[in-house]
Amino acid sequence: MYKENTISVVIPAYNEAGFIGEVLESVPSYVDRVYVVDDGSTDSTWEEIQAHATTVTESADGSVVQFDQRIVPIRHVENRGVGGAIKTGYLRARDDEIDITAVMGGDGQMDPDRLPNLLDPIVDGRADYVKANRLSRPENRRSMPPFRYVGNVILTFLTKIASGYWGISDPQNGYTAISLDALERAPIEDMYEFYGYCNDLLAKLNVERLRVADVPVRSVYGDEKSHIRYQTYIPRVSAMLLRTFLWRLSATVRRDRSNPVPLFYLTGAAGVLGGVSQFVRNLLVSRDDDSDSGRALTGVLAGSVSLLVAMLWETRLNRDLSVTEDTRWNEREDQDRSGD
């Protein structure tokens, strides 16, 4: 337990032989359950998981814990994607009524010593979902490979629009913690199963008006190999974000018909698309009609203004749903460094 809360960790693993055993050993002793999900690996990941799965009846301080089995190995016969593996772990944690469930990667990139930074905002009642943020401090950004950083910045902006959480950053970061209440309220069963699941989950949390906190962390880049193929990742995640955005607008209207944001978004998109299509038609038919060009330009400008109003209005409406933990993190990190 951690501060009177039961804690579980979900670890998705796909072809992580050589890494997963060390990750399991690094999980802090206060974690009550570890749901390690082998997502259809083709190497010896499952055997390595089984070799490290032990049954314990006492915690590190000798007190009896709530669960007999600390490490719970779960195996997908077929690969479903990292989101599918995490979904499986989330559902098991929800069924077991774990107070807080964190997610750690099976490749060792997430520092287990920083897990309390993700748990504390939920324990203290400041947030329902906490995510790590690698972009908040210059040294964190410099440690990230350049191609990851550029892609992250682009997806951050797209996710702000799709999710409605304008105060968050680095939404692709999978080092997270979620409360039992959030797991019960959000439609976890419908969570996206490919890379991009965490972006999709943010939109689901927003519809339920749940608070999300950003906590700065440092990631570790070692000998692990990324399973992301960017030629498929970018189109699939972009299409998912569009679907998620439209779903969220629809859910927002159902929840609150007086909310003007969806109308501004739809009106703005219609204006921009209408104006652009008019420009294209003029070019295709080689027309030089000032009135047509004027209407096209007016449509684009009016649509752009409407989109900007929607974003600003939503930023104001959702400002209380984004929690910043930078100050507390900086104080704790400085203390850690002074003690080294």
Structure tokens, 150: 């550029």
pLDDT given for residue 338 in this prediction: 40
5-228 maps to CATH 3.90.550.10 = yes
Q: Given this model, what pLDDT does residue 11 score?
A: 95
Are 186 and 204 in contact by the 8 Å Cβ rule? The answer is yes
3 state DSSP class of 40 = coil
**No. of H helices and E strands in the chain?**
12, 8
So where are the chain's domains? Answer: 5-228, 255-318
- Predicted confidence at residue 64, as pLDDT, reads 46
Distance, in Å, from the CA atom of 230 to the CA atom of 193, rounded to the nearest integer, reads: 16
Partners of 75 in the β-ladder: 38
The model's pTM is: 0.84
Contact (Cβ atoms closer than 8 angstroms) between residue 268 and residue 306? yes
Q: Output the pLDDT for position 327.
A: 45
pLDDT at 80: 93
pLDDT at site 53? 81
Q: What is the residue-wise DSSP string for 62-122?
A: SPBPS-SBSEEEEEESS---HHHHHHHHHHHHHHTT-SEEEE--TTS-S-GGGHHHHHHHH
Q: What is the pLDDT, as a whole number, of residue 60?
A: 46
Instruction: Give the per-residue pLDDT at 290.
Output: 61
What integer pLDDT is reported at residue 258 of this predicted model?
A: 86
**pLDDT score recorded for residue 297:** 85
Task: List, run by run, the mean pLDDT of 10-residue segments along the chain (340 residues).
Answer: 95 91 90 94 91 60 58 93 95 96 88 92 95 77 72 86 90 92 95 90 94 81 54 78 92 87 91 85 68 80 92 90 65 46
CA-wise closest residue to 169 among 140, 135, 200: 135
DSSP character at residue 340: -
Of 248, 228, 244, 223, give the one whose Cα is nearest residue 318: 248
